[in-house]
């Protein structure tokens, strides 16, 4: 990762935790600090997935019953993981607010202790252990780049690191589809924001927590927002270069570096907080394809060919001669225009890079195939 960012990169791989995310740190700390009566009754939380899995795993280890309420958009991998780890999983609510309301109702009805996923003090304290480990493992770090959604991880990191080494720069990264911390810093208080779809679903809370915000404000050095295309590309880079599978939230620090949002970190020793690896395989497949398109290694275009014998063969010959590989061709006769002897061929082709795509388009035009670029 160092060669593609211009910085000396270290990755704190909390995606390798047992349940695949940093959430185990706060979950275990919170469970251990319950009274014996609370531990016996059990706990409940509203969560999109990682907090739920962490509570389920450590609840099982500690013998504490765990119930989690997940919103409808929670990824399948996260709901199934929580069930497998022994939690009672209830999927209810169009967003986190509705899931939280159901969790509050059950907590009152059944006498369960509610554990907030990112704003409970014991959760924040547990997440702060990641900062202590970074200081121990990378003693001369210049900066730490950390994802931020609800703010619990960043708050714990800021408190731990800035208490011991004030000169280390701490930078928060959000998806452009979230922006909770940016909005809170501008308003000087947490504000509710509508949820929008994002690859970084772990950051898709409706607001930054008030406790987290009070710790972050005045300690974080900078907050940036990175686009979805860069997040997809960062996931692909981790898979290709380091053979590591991460989720969208965990990809945001590298995405911000690759997008050129942090030029001041070039040549510096930078720790990227790789906070989780729980990505749905179906989403991972689509993300990889999006990354290939961004790199110019997968392209789609339409050409008009003769609907007579030999028309398709000539098209494939030209493509093959330029060293490209056809992944898929779809014939479109109904919308190819008034010429009944012609057909649109929608081609999905694997290429080397953007220059190779341009070379292929020129070759097709030279051989009489007009090209309409689709993506």
The pLDDT assigned to 310 comes to 85
In this prediction, residue 328 carries a pLDDT of: 93
Q: Are residues 307 and 237 in the same domain?
A: no
Mark whether 202 and 73 lie in a shared domain.
no
Q: Which residues pair with 329 in a beta bridge?
A: 347
Q: What is the pTM of this model?
A: 0.88
CA distance to 195, 232, 333, per residue, from 347 (Å): 35, 23, 14
pLDDT at 342: 79
Q: Are 12 and 35 found together in one domain? A: no
Of 292, 324, 341, the residue that ends a domain is 292
How confident is the model at residue 74, as a pLDDT? 79
- According to DSSP, the β-strands at 169-175 and 143-147 are parallel
CATH of the domain at 75: 3.40.50.1100
Is 86:66 a contact under the CB 8 Å cutoff? yes
**What integer pLDDT is reported at residue 144 of this predicted model?**
98
User: Looking at residue 309, what is its pLDDT?
Assistant: 83
172 and 264 housed in the same domain: yes
Structural contact between residues 115 and 43, judged by C-beta atoms closer than 8 angstroms:
yes
245, 288 in Cβ contact below 8 A? no
CATH number at residue 322: 3.30.70.260
Domain check: are 359 and 262 in the same one?
no
Considering the domain architecture, whether residues 134 and 224 belong to the same structural domain is answered as yes
Whether residue 96 sits in one domain with residue 63: yes
Could you tell me if 332 and 204 lie in one domain? no
What residue has token string 């986190």? 96
Counting the structural domains of the chain, the total is 3
Going from the C-alpha of 338 to that of each of 333, 347, 368, the distances in angstroms are 10, 21, 18
Residue among 328, 251, 242, 329 nearest 284 (CA): 251
**Last residue in a domain, options 229, 263, 292:** 292
Residue ending a domain, among 74, 95, 117, is 117
Same domain for 6 and 38?
Answer: no
Predicted local confidence at residue 76, as pLDDT: 79
Same domain as 275, residue 142: yes
At 44 the pLDDT is 98
Domain of residue 41, residue span: 27-117
Same domain? For 207 and 318 the reply is: no
Q: Where are the alpha helices (DSSP H) in the chain?
A: 2-5, 23-32, 36-41, 50-62, 76-84, 96-110, 121-127, 129-137, 152-164, 180-187, 210-216, 228-242, 248-258, 281-295, 311-321, 354-366
Q: What is the pLDDT of residue 282?
A: 87
| One domain, residues 108 and 64 | yes
Question: How crowded is residue 7: how many other Cβ atoms within 10 Å of its Cβ?
Answer: 23
10-residue mean pLDDT profile of the chain (375 residues): values are 94 96 97 97 90 95 96 80 92 87 96 95 98 97 97 98 97 95 97 86 89 97 96 94 95 98 98 94 89 91 86 93 94 68 89 96 93 75
């Amino acid at each position: 990762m160092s060669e593609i960012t211009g910085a000396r990169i270290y990755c704190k791989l909390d995606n390798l935790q047992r349940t695949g995310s940093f959430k185990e740190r706060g979950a275990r700390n919170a469970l251990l600090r319950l009274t014996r009566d609370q531990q016996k009754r059990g706990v409940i939380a509203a969560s999109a997935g990682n907090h739920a899995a962490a509570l389920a795993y450590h609840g099982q280890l500690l013998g504490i019953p765990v119930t989690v309420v997940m919103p409808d958009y929670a990824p399948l991998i996260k709901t199934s993981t929580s069930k497998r780890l022994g939690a009672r999983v209830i999927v209810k609510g169009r967003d986190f607010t509705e899931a939280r309301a159901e969790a509050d109702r059950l907590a009152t009805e059944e006498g369960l202790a509610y554990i907030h996923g990112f704003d409970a003090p014991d959760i924040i304290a547990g997440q702060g252990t990641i900062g202590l480990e970074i200081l121990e493992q990378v003693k001369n770090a210049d900066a730490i780049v950390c994802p931020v959604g609800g703010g619990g991880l960043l708050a714990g990191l800021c408190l731990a690191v800035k208490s011991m080494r004030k000169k280390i720069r701490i930078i928060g990264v959000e998806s452009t589809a979230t922006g909770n911390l940016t909005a809170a810093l501008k308003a000087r208080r947490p504000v509710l924001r509508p949820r929008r779809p994002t690859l970084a679903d772990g950051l898709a809370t409706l607001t930054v927590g008030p406790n987290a915000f009070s710790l972050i404000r005045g300690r974080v050095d900078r907050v940036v927002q990175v686009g979805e295309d860069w997040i997809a590309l960062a996931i692909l880079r981790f898979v290709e270069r380091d053979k590591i599978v991460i989720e969208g939230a965990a990809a945001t620090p590298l995405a911000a570096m690759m997008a050129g949002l942090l030029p001041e970190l070039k040549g510096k020793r930078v720790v990227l907080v790789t906070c989780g690896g729980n990505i749905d395989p179906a989403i991972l497949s689509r993300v990889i394809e999006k990354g290939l398109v961004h790199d110019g290694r997968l392209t789609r275009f339409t050409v008009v060919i003769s609907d007579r014998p030999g028309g398709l063969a000539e098209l494939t010959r030209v493509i093959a001669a330029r060293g490209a590989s056809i992944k898929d061709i779809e014939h479109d006769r109904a919308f190819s225009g008034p010429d009944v002897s012609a057909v649109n061929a929608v081609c999905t082709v694997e290429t080397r890079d953007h220059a190779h795509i341009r070379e292929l388009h020129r070759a097709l035009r030279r051989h009489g195939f007009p090209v309409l670029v689709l993506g």
